[in-house]
Structure 1
Amino acid sequence: MNVIVLLLTAVQALDPYAPPEIRKIPTCTCPSTPEAGVIRLDGYVIDAEMTLAPDGLNTNDRMATIFDVKSSNDPSYSGRTRVWHETTEDKCGITFDYGRKYSVTVRVIDGDQLETDRCLMDQ
């Protein structure tokens, strides 16, 4: 009987109108100084390249968006250009919409691959 009274008291103490507890999701932190040696591309999103995660069921958070680059501050980039990026917020990810025109700031990695993130896009 005493256990039931304690349980009823505990349940009544819960506020049914209290907002749910919101977990804080870690977000990326961008450097305070702009990154040097970046390239600016202007073009339209025409495709995407996604890869499977090791489980074979889900996709990786890292993907490539394919742009039809119309202009660039580096003449070696034009036409179909693959830009790699993360999609999750805590890794400074970014997403792009098909058919939309973007001005994308990228860095060169591994000698020939292009990569961007939210920090580069904001600079």
Structure 2
Amino acid sequence: MLTSDLRRVLDSAAIAHLATVSADGAPHVAPVFVGTEGDRVVVFTGPDSKKSRNLHRDPRVALSVATADDPFTPVVVRGRVIEWIDGDEAWEIVDRVAGKYIPVPYPRDDARVVAVIEPEVQRVGMG
């Protein structure tokens, strides 16, 4: 279950940095739009992106989130991708999440998939 503090951050327009594990074991970090779907965390990406390839091979993720009003308060999520959503259902999530960041529907130029993350560790602040 997401804490109310974490849900508040994830439902805002805070930018997250998603860390995945590359095939050679090296970390790969990329900024992503982030949101919630029920008690899970969602991010989206291209189905053939490095993020997607890494997560299909090794579903472990870490997210570091910076809020606009307090970018130095640590917001951390660690967990695993437990589901992939594509097609119309994915586009509904993409548009909802992206709508926090951009004032128009997300461009349909390239395919997008949604990674659903089950949080195992969640922290807002130093606690």
When normalised by structure 1's length, the TM-score is 0.29
Larger Rg belongs to? 1
Higher share of residues assigned strand:
2
When normalised by structure 2's length, the TM-score is 0.28
Q: Whose RCO is larger (CA < 8 A, sep 6+)?
A: 2
